[in-house]
Each structure stands twice: as C-alpha cells, then as structure tokens.
Amino acid sequence: MQKITIAIDGFSSTGKSTIAKQLAKHLGYIYVDTGAMYRAVTYYAMKYDFINATHFDVVGLVSKLHDIVVYFKLNQETGSADVYLNGENIEQAIRTLEVSNFVSQVAAIPEVRYQLVKQQQKMGAKKGIVMDGRDIGTVVFPEAELKIFMTASAETRATRRFNELINKGEVVTYTDVLHNIEERDFLDSNREDSPLRKAADAIEIDNSNLTIAQQFQEIVKLAEAEI
Ligand code: C5P
C-alpha cells in the first residue's frame, strides 16, 4: 500500500494532536507534533532568560540556535513520543500555560522556523507521516496528499484546554486560558513568516459539536480514500 503525507493544521487547542495521534496509530504512520518543537525552543529561551515578561532578546536567542537540539524519543510507558531538548525530557515542562504565553513570539522568528521546518521536512521525507501544526499544509508539506484544517469555537477550545491543565494539577483560570488561546490565534495568524492559513486544498473540520469518535471516523474515511 502506498504511504501518504497527512497535514493537520488549525487554531490552538482544536484537538489536532488527539486526532493526529489516533490516525497515525490506525495507519501505522509516524506522528510528529510540531508545536512541541516550537515549545521546546521557547522552553530553552525561558530557561536562559532570552524571553520573560519584560524583555525578548531575539538576537541572543538566534545566536544560540545551533546549540538547541530538539528531538523525539519513544516513551515505553505511554507508547507515545516525548520531546527532548539537549538530552532533557521536557514533555511535561513544555505543556504549561507559561510556555503557551511565550511560544507564539518565539515561533514568529524566521530563523527558528527555518531550522525547525528543515528538520520536519527530513522527518517526513519518506511519507507515512501525520504531522500537526500551523503551517504543515502550506509550508512544510505543500504537496501533502491529505490536508485537514481544524477549527472550533474559542470557548469550546478554552474549556477543553482549561480542563486538561486543571487535571494535570496546574493552577489556572478559565479566563487566562481563553485569553492565551485568542492571543495565540491572533499572533499565529498575523505573523509575517508562515502565518496560520487554511491551505486552498485543505478540508475544514469544525469539531465544536463532534465527539472524538465521530471526528476520528470522519478523518479515517478521508485518509483511506487517499491511500
Ligand atoms: O500546537 P501547539 O498549540 O502546541 O503549538 C504551540 C505554538 O507553536 C503555536 O501557538 C504556534 O505559535 C507555534 N507553532 C507554529 N507552527 C507550527 C506548530 C506550532 O508556529 N507548525
């Protein structure tokens, strides 16, 4: 059976990674969460104080890009890949609201995007991949056989993300989570380099009123039609 490339893009917290993971498992494909890669660089920028609430040293961060090694490694316990930064497992550390609050600024830097996109294209060079992000169907794999663009209302997304963070024990308010989602949507859609856009040939799925199972059925049908 021929292997294809599946690009899943969309706004923040639309459940892209949930469906991408399920689909990859179903098809026996590799799954790559590109948001984790931008979060990893942001984690580095925060750790070494290139970015904080009052300053952002873009030149300093860019000068260190060659020192930033981001990669994925299978976690035997969970069965999914964890993200690593220079040998440190940062899978949990990158999912906080604090990282979410800085990531869109870091992801807007062209040099950061250039480096990560190159790495993503290598990962998908042999196809058989489901990759989720913001620019997969437009920039990373414009030739992907299947492109999905996920949407849902901001309130639906904030409720999902709020519950996720609370269940992990993070102390956050619904209002802060909603604000972060709206701000990231704005920054991601309005940056100059690779703004979040629906590719002309992407299929839009609004999952505000779909269960995870319904959404999975719909997307598997689309994927199987391409294989
Ligand atoms: O997917 P996730 O919400 O974890 O992505 C975090 C952030 O990383 C996004 O808000 C966006 O700023 C950036 N991102 C990006 N391009 C991608 C994936 C993520 O700019 N392909």
Copy the structure tokens of residue 104: 């869109």
Which of 13, 18, 38 has most ligand 1 atoms within 8 Å of its beta carbon, as the pocket-test mutant? 38
Distance 179 CA to ligand 1 centre (A): 16
Whether the predicted interface score ipTM is above 0.95: yes
CA distances from 212 to 88, 132, 195 (A): 32, 16, 27
CB of residue 91 inside a 6 A radius of ligand 1: no
Distance 42 CA to ligand 1 centre (A): 11
CB of residue 161 inside a 6 A radius of ligand 1: no
Distance 104 CA to ligand 1 centre (A): 7
CA distance 185 to 127: 29
Torsion angles phi and psi, residue 78, rounded to 5:
-90, -20
Task: Quote the pTM value.
Answer: 0.97
Find, among 52, 16, 12, the residue nearest to 31 by Cα: 16
Chain centre to alpha carbon of residue 123: 15
Give yes or no for a contact between 150 and 203, defined as CB atoms under 8 angstroms apart: no
Instruction: Supply the pLDDT for residue 1.
Output: 78
Instruction: Supply the pLDDT for residue 101.
Output: 97
Q: How many angstroms separate the first and last alpha carbons of the chain?
A: 7
Q: Whose CA is nearest to atom 11 of ligand 1?
A: 104
CB of residue 137 inside a 6 A radius of ligand 1: no
Find out whether 18 is annotated in a ligand binding site.
Answer: yes
CB of residue 115 inside a 6 A radius of ligand 1: no
Find out whether 16 is annotated in a ligand binding site.
Answer: yes
DSSP string, 81-141: EEEEETTEE-TTGGGSHHHHHHHHHHTT-HHHHHHHHHHHHHHTTTS-EEEEESSIIIII-
CB of residue 101 inside a 6 A radius of ligand 1: no
Find out whether 149 is annotated in a ligand binding site.
Answer: no
Find, among 173, 177, 133, 109, the residue nearest to 37 by Cα: 133
- Per-residue model confidence as pLDDT tens for the chain (227 residues): 799 999 999 999 999 999 999 999 999 999 999 999 999 999 999 999 999 999 999 999 999 999 999 999 999 999 999 999 999 999 999 999 999 999 999 999 999 999 999 999 999 999 999 999 999 999 999 999 999 999 999 999 999 999 999 999 999 999 999 999 999 999 999 999 999 999 999 999 999 999 999 999 999 999 999 99
Instruction: Supply the pLDDT for residue 204.
Output: 98
Side chain identity, residue 60: G
- Helical residues (DSSP H) of the chain, grouped into ranges: 16-27, 34-47, 58-63, 97-106, 110-123, 154-167, 174-190, 212-226
Distance 150 CA to ligand 1 centre (A): 14
